[in-house]
Amino acid sequence: MKKSYDSKFKSRVALEALRGELTGAEIAGKYQVHPNPVQQWKKKLMEDAFEISRPRPS
């Protein structure tokens, strides 16, 4: 069965990955998740941040 994580947890992990102080594998081990979701959540965070900061047409 696939485990689901709440958005607060995903954000915490993604922000830590974005900081770059630890590798994806180290973060995955710290939070006991597979490294793939860590990278996916980091990518999603970066994409969403871009969308928020993009100017909207008037």
Q: What is the domain partition of the chain in residue ranges?
A: 7-53
Q: Which among 50, 55, 44 is positioned nearest to 15, based on CA atoms?
A: 44
Higher pLDDT, 8 or 56: 8
Tokens of 53: 């900061």
Residue 3 has pLDDT above 90, yes or no: no
Q: Residue 9: what residue type?
A: F
Output Rg (C-alpha) for the chain, integer angstroms.
Answer: 13
Residue 12 has pLDDT above 80, yes or no: yes
pLDDT of residue 50: 80
Compute the Cα dihedral for 31, 18, 48, 37 and give only its sign: negative
Average predicted confidence (pLDDT) for the chain:
91
pTM of the full predicted structure? 0.82
Q: Are 4 and 10 in contact (CB under 8 A)?
A: no
